[in-house]
Amino acid sequence: MGYLGKTALLAATAAAALTLTACNDSAAPGAPANGGTGATGTTADSSAGGQAFSSLSGLSDAVQHTTGSAKTVHVKMTGGIAGQAVNGEGDYQFGDPTAMQFEMKTSAGEMSMRLVGNVMYMKSPQSIVPGKPWMKFDLGANNALAKSMDSVKQTDPSKIIAQIVEAGDLTGVKSEPVDGQDTVHYTVTIDITKLKADNALGMDADAIAAAGKAGMKTFTIDMWINHDNLPVRMVNEIPMQGKTVKTQSDYSDWGKPVTITAPPASEVATLPGS
């Protein structure tokens, strides 16, 4: 695989990792007791004034409500794949249209990604076309790279958490502070055998099969939700493309206006094959 292929694959992997880490949102202001009992939305700690959900469906409903109102978020991501560190920071706008601007630092150098309309722009450490540091491709194009990068459009927490309702179970609920905020820490255990095309969290059929052959039956996703029912942090370790993607994402500035624009046309080249 040439430099372009490696760079694009790294970017696609990072995008997929971001997709997975965005998977949160739910309830609970302050500090609910472990486990949370009773029906969905049962008050777990009246002293904290908060609620803890005892089912993923309740969690999913809360996600749709809160992120549907907020729509934008700032994300800081740290993690890696196969020992290669990936760190990034940027802004997302969910809904229609979905938009994104993200800066990443990897062992290969610094990269930038922007999603505007249905077009992905990527700036890699080495220009493919002299004088044009950005390359673009249409996510609607019928090619493997476009399909892999399309995962970035699925970063809306309400869509992600909805995917794991059928394949996951809440296996931990407890009070835990994050960066000075009172949050509820939810642990979700995903059953790999229940992952299908519409709820695979960015994993394709080959990745699911490879995980099964390796003896992996489950993996976990951890999320921390503040008193406004918005995600504060997400941590996961998920099998993908024969590797393990480990990420931590920290969320802030929910609902704050963002401006996301395409790079200057004079600096953009069309990605070969797109």
Residue 151 has pLDDT above 70, yes or no: no
The average confidence (pLDDT) of the chain is 74
Greatest mean pLDDT among 17-31, 42-56, 242-256: 242-256
Q: Are strands 168-178 and 134-138 parallel, antiparallel or unpaired?
A: unpaired
Quick one: pLDDT at residue 80?
75
Residue 270 has pLDDT above 70, yes or no: yes
Quick one: pLDDT at residue 2?
37
Quick one: pLDDT at residue 91?
94
217 band by pLDDT with thresholds 50, 70 and 90:
confident
249 band by pLDDT with thresholds 50, 70 and 90:
confident
Quick one: pLDDT at residue 148?
60
46 band by pLDDT with thresholds 50, 70 and 90:
very low
Q: H or E segment at 60? A: helix 56-70
Quick one: pLDDT at residue 147?
62
Provide the CATH number for the domain around residue 251.
2.50.20.20
Q: What's CA 86's distance to the chain center, in Å?
A: 14
Residue 54 has pLDDT above 60, yes or no: yes
Quick one: pLDDT at residue 73?
92
- How many Cβ atoms are within 10 Å of 198's Cβ, its own excluded? 8
Quick one: pLDDT at residue 247?
83
| CA gap 189, 207 in Å, rounded | 18
Q: Report the domain count for the chain.
A: 1
Q: What is the DSSP letter of 132?
A: B
C-beta separation of 70 from 255 below 8 A = yes
112 band by pLDDT with thresholds 50, 70 and 90:
very high
Range of the domain at 102: 3-270
Q: What is the DSSP letter of 54?
A: S
Quick one: pLDDT at residue 197?
66
Quick one: pLDDT at residue 133?
93
Q: What is the DSSP letter of 52?
A: -
Residue 109 has pLDDT above 50, yes or no: yes
Share of the chain above pLDDT 70, in %: 68
Q: Which residue has the higher pLDDT, 100 or 18?
A: 100
The type of residue at 208 is I
| Angle (nearest 5°) at CA 165 between 183 and 95 | 75
C-beta separation of 39 from 54 below 8 A = yes
* Lowest model confidence (mean pLDDT) among 46-50, 126-130, 219-223, 250-254: 46-50
Q: What is the pTM of this model?
A: 0.77
Find, among 201, 254, 202, the residue nearest to 225 by Cα.
Answer: 254
Q: If you average pLDDT over residues 98-112, what whole number do you get?
A: 86
Summarised one tens digit per residue, pLDDT across range 119-143 is: 889 898 887 788 899 988 887 776 6
Quick one: pLDDT at residue 171?
92
Quick one: pLDDT at residue 162?
79
Residue 81 has pLDDT above 60, yes or no: yes
